[in-house]
Amino acid sequence: MVNVFDLKNMSYDNYENRDKNVFSFKTRIVGLNPKQSIPKCDMKSFVRFYVLSGEVEVTKNNESTILKDGHLLITGPAILLMKTETGSKLLGIQICKNTGMV
C-alpha cells in the first residue's frame, strides 16, 4: 500500500496538542498561532522542518534565521527554538542517526 499525505490540506492541532499531529513515526504537523513560540528544545536526533505556510524564526544553538513558505531546515542534534509573528504551519520530521527512525 502506498501512503500519500496531502500536507497542505491536513488538519492539525496547535502546538499545545502536538502529540495529536504525529502521523508517521516521528513526523508531525506543527501549527503556531500569530505571536506564538516553541520553548527551547534540546533535540538529540536529526530533524527537518519544512514550512508549509507562514513564516517562522528558528534559532539553532544561538544562531537565528527566518524560514518562509517552502523553506526546509535540516539540522543535526541542536538546541532549537521557534517563534512566529504571523503564524505558521510546518512539517517536522525527526530522524535517529543510527536507525533512520526515532
d(CA 51, CA 92): 9
What's the confidence (pLDDT) of residue 26? 78
Q: Tell me how far apart the alpha carbons of residues 46 and 15 are, in angstroms, rounded to a whole number.
A: 20
Q: What domains, with CATH codes, occur in the chain? A: 15-95 (2.60.120.10)
How many beta carbons lie within 10 A of that of residue 56, not counting itself? 26
DSSP 8-state class, residue 86: S
pTM, rounded to two decimals: 0.72
pLDDT tens for the 102 residues of the chain, in order: 556 667 777 777 777 776 666 655 678 889 999 999 998 999 888 889 999 999 999 999 999 999 999 999 989 899 999 999 999 999 998 876 544 443
Residue 14's alpha-carbon distances to 28, 38, 76, in angstroms, are 11, 11, 25
Amino acid residing at 53? S
